[in-house]
Amino acid sequence: MPSARPFKLGLCLALLLAVLAACAGVGTYTERPKVSLLSMALTGATPLEQRFAIKLRVTNPNDADLDITGLSLELEVNEVALATVVSDQFVKVPRFSSAVLEAEAAANLLVLPKLIKEAGRSGGALRYRIKGAVVLGTPASRNLASTVTQVTQRLPFDHKGEFQLEAR
């Protein structure tokens, strides 16, 4: 009866090579990406929540492309926690370049009237802070639920700025 040992050894070597090949595609990132808010537009409201379409600019200061397979962040406006934003949009950000990512968020309805009032007093300008992480991988890794060869990396970011509140 043939031994299963050569088969197991071959399988282990194949898995090791797959993991090494996947790791070779993960670049070295010396700097965090810069994620800034481009726009935030009210898209709908109900008595219990307000929904926003959010556009983010992701800037890559590294010498390797960023293959972003997801993003999560906390959005504060005028130092008040407003929303948690998540996106599973795939975006390739070339080295030393930037790209736009779109997401949708549901807001804390209790703070929105206060923020709209402050925006009216300041000509529509509001201060924001976004803190979170981009998830790097390959488009195929989004479809692999849990495998040995799935390689992902999280790159954190933290950015402050100003934006104009728009209504659609």
pLDDT digits (tens, 9 = 90+) for 120-154: 777 777 888 999 999 998 766 555 544 444 567 89
How far apart, in Å, are the Cα atoms of 9 and each of 4, 61, 74, 80, 150? Answer: 9, 42, 46, 56, 21
5-167: which CATH architecture? Sandwich (2.60)
Mean of all residue pLDDT scores within the chain: 79
Asked which of 46-50, 51-55, 146-150 is least confident by mean pLDDT, the reply is: 146-150
- For tokens 């929904």, what's the residue? 51
The more confident residue out of 134 and 8 is: 134
| Integer Cα distance of 68 and 152 in angstroms | 10
pLDDT, position 148: 42
For strands 91-93 and 97-107, give the pairing. unpaired
User: What's the mean pLDDT in 12-39?
Assistant: 66
| Integer Cα distance of 26 and 18 in angstroms | 13
User: What's the mean pLDDT in 41-58?
Assistant: 87
Q: Please compute Rg for the chain using Cα positions.
A: 21
pLDDT, position 58: 96
| Integer Cα distance of 67 and 98 in angstroms | 12
Task: Look at residue 1 and tell me whether its pLDDT is greater than 60.
Answer: no
Give the number of other CB atoms < 10 A from CB of residue 102.
13
